[in-house]
A = this chain, B = another copy of it.
């Protein structure tokens, strides 16, 4: 199912602010190849297993599946509201791409293609799990609010956006985005 909708937009793209940290900051455009974002922290077809994959020995080389992180304005606004904060900036939590108008971004079916008007195509690799490290970065901006680091993972569950891989190299820049959504049918084995 292809969904073209004038209200589906990429409204910002962000690049690494400092190679030693996950923070990102707005840039004009991102160049991506099939390994990910050029100059990005998660560039590569593979990565080392970490805390998110407790079932693999730590540092084992594994398929990446998280070259690009995408968040939505609306979802981040909802997270901020739940945390009783004026805002949560995409760059604080290391987002690479920010959408507006895409409903339920975090719930997009796995395998959905995001065809950027600027040329690159991303594949949704599933929901991003909000973690305490991103929470700590938010907390740093609100020093008078203790406990935000631990509040974030709860407040942002199912609102943290998606992880994606690059299917087609090119540019990601603000502008329209088209969704190619695979058929959704419930797995009969789950009954």
Contacts and interface: CB of A to CB of B under 8 A. Distances in A.
Interface of A: 1, 3, 34, 45-46, 55-56, 60-63, 65, 102-104, 107-111, 115, 123, 125-127, 165-169, 180-190
B34 A46 contact: yes
Contacts of A123: 63, 65
Contacts of A60: 168
B169 A61 contact: yes
A3, A127, A168, A186 interface centre (most CB from chain B within 10 Å): A168
Among all A-B residue pairs, the 4 with the closest Cβ atoms: A103-B189, A110-B110, A104-B188, A110-B111
A109 B108 contact: no
Given A56-B168, A103-B189, 19 more contacts: A1-B190, A34-B45, A34-B61, A55-B180, A61-B169, A62-B168, A63-B123, A63-B165, A63-B166, A103-B188, A104-B188, A107-B185, A107-B186, A107-B187, A108-B187, A109-B110, A109-B187, A110-B111, A184-B190
